[in-house]
Structure 1
Amino acid sequence: MTAAGRLLAVLDAFTPGRSLLTLSEISRRAGLSLTTAHRLAGELVNWGALERDDDGRYRIGLHLLELAALAPRGLELRELAQPFLEDLFHSTRAHVHLAVRDGHEVVYVETLRARGTVTVLSRLGQRWPLHATGTGLALLAHAGREVQEQVLEAPLKRFTHRTITDARELRRVLAEVRRTGVAVAEEQLTLEAVAIAAPIRGAGDEVVSALGLVVHVDECEPRALVPVMTAAARGISRALGAPSAADVRGVVRGR
């Protein structure tokens, strides 16, 4: 690995389930010698990318959060969308997700979790394959043809017995998402959960993000939530400067 590659390997050793690591764990997970891992971890601590606790264990540092705040598809998008997300959360009492596409995966840049409903696996910063989630389907349906074909030609991972793993079925679903403007994923990632999602458009009217709701299969008719969800998605699109959303009236507005 290059010097930069070794530094990135140290940072990549940390995952949602492994957010606090010893030096030995970093060395093993990054594929580096203990001496190299110690030197690089020290450099990252000095720079602020890592922090070290009193027990000598390492965790991600706040300087990375500062840099993430500069990402237009990350915290900046999250801050702009937050009022709409909160209104949607309070009006539906459902799990609310804001997501972006990164390659062949969907990444959650914000999640609002509801109590007393179905348990969801998704959390802030987590990644899932595009074909297995509502927001992922909404993003994939509006991705470029090359990206769609790459996903369709690759093996589609199964998470439940309802996960779409047939390319022909996925192609049909994507066409339906484009036709209706809404993606529906029933028990695709989590049993007893139904996800619905709508695209969010940017200043060039391109799809830049997706807004999703997750409810229990027996909690309500998911499509009854479509109007309020799509209104919120169009409100965020208008805030981003999307021409197609500029003349929308009656959208969900942030406080």
Structure 2
Amino acid sequence: MTGTGSAERILAILDVFTEDHLEWTTEELMARLGYSRPTLYRYLKALREAGFLTSLPGAGFTLGPRVVELDYLLRKSDPLVSTGQKHLEALIDAYPCSALLVRWYGAKLLCVASESSTPNPLSSYARGRAMPLARGAISRAIMAWLPRRQLEPLILANLDEMKQMGLGSTLDEVLEAMRLVRRAGAAVAHGEVTPGVIGTAAPVFDAGQSPIAAVTVTIAGREVTPETLNSIERDVKTRAAAITKALAERRVEARESAGDFAPIEFELERKSS
């Protein structure tokens, strides 16, 4: 498990687990990853002993209990979740809806926290389930604020589906649609992810003013009037801005407390901004 190469190859094993393929045999893993049998067995043994994978006799490998443990620790430690929780609760107190915090990482959108004031939440994407990039308010609330060099490849990779969503049939047309979202400060989508549901989302930014997450309200269309939708959009933007500000203040406090021993993430943040 030493060396960058080994680490990347081990992580590649975890990356093959998806909602559509939850269990893998050793033969399937060798065919997918191209590892030799001794190498694969060595990596699987390390992952199983660490609790990241588990298996039963005669069955394939599935994700192990260590993943659940890390998820619990993430909930306790993620400043986005701890800062945003009260804002989600305020939104569900104001409307019969689900309110979500969705984090952007790599090229994925992932719900990290959610609250609901309806008995049967209408969101199709619970915590931990990756969301589509080409559909919905959440996607546009993130993508509209990405730098063009980062945004263009994402649009081109998802252009066919974006075309179906009415965002445009060319790169320039979709870029114009993103510009309009940016000017509005939030994105609104009608039934693009879940039929009959209206989603409204606004971005949360890091210190370099890059989008790192979105605050979202999903609500049944039958509950919404034009006035209600305007109110939701205003509140979502306000809540997202408040989380951005709180995260910035938290970073300043952490820097001041750290003094000359500022954690490495501060240096990485400075270089990336």
Smaller-chain TM-score bracket: 0.7 to 0.9
Cα-to-partner distance string for 1:9-49 (whole Å, 9 max, x where unaligned): 32123223444555566556555566654442221121232
The match for 2:94 is: 91
Relative distance call for 1:154 and 1:17 in structure 2 (3 A) is closer
Equivalent position amino acid for 1:158 in 2? E
- d(CA) in 1 for partners of 2:45 and 2:115? 35
Shift of 1:114: 5.4
Equivalent position amino acid for 1:239 in 2? A
Secondary structure in structure 1 of the residue aligned to 2:222: coil
1:186 aligns with 2:193: no
1:46 aligns with 2:62: no
- d(CA) in 1 for partners of 2:111 and 2:195? 20
Relative distance call for 1:12 and 1:77 in structure 2 (3 A) is same
> Which residues in structure 2 correspond to 1:109-148 (within 5 Å)?
109-113=112-116, 115=118, 119-148=122-151
Equivalent position amino acid for 1:191 in 2? P
Identity of aligned residues (%): 24
Shift of 1:197: 0.5
Secondary structure in structure 2 of the residue aligned to 1:130: coil
Q: Is the 8 A contact 1:118 1:192 kept in 2?
A: no
- d(CA) in 2 for partners of 1:21 and 1:126? 19
Cα-to-partner distance string for 1:154-183 (whole Å, 9 max, x where unaligned): 342428954535234422321122212111
Give the structure with the higher percent helix: 2
Q: Is the 8 A contact 1:205 1:242 kept in 2?
A: no
- d(CA) in 2 for partners of 1:117 and 1:33? 48
Answer with 152-161 or 118-127: which moved more: 152-161
- d(CA) in 2 for partners of 1:86 and 1:25? 44
The match for 2:224 is: 220
1:79 aligns with 2:82: yes
The match for 2:214 is: 210
Relative distance call for 1:153 and 1:20 in structure 2 (3 A) is closer
State the TM-score, normalizing by the size of structure 1: 0.75
Q: Is the 8 A contact 2:145 2:211 kept in 1?
A: yes
Relative distance call for 1:160 and 1:148 in structure 2 (3 A) is closer
Shift of 1:216: 2.1
The match for 1:251 is: none
- d(CA) in 2 for partners of 1:97 and 1:163? 25
The match for 1:238 is: 245
The match for 1:229 is: 236
Q: For the aligned residues, what is the CA RMSD?
A: 3.5
Q: How many corresponding residue pairs?
A: 241
Equivalent position amino acid for 1:199 in 2? P
The match for 1:170 is: 174
- Unaligned stretches of 5+ in structure 2? 251-273
Q: Is the 8 A contact 1:132 1:163 kept in 2?
A: no
Q: Is the 8 A contact 1:98 1:212 kept in 2?
A: yes
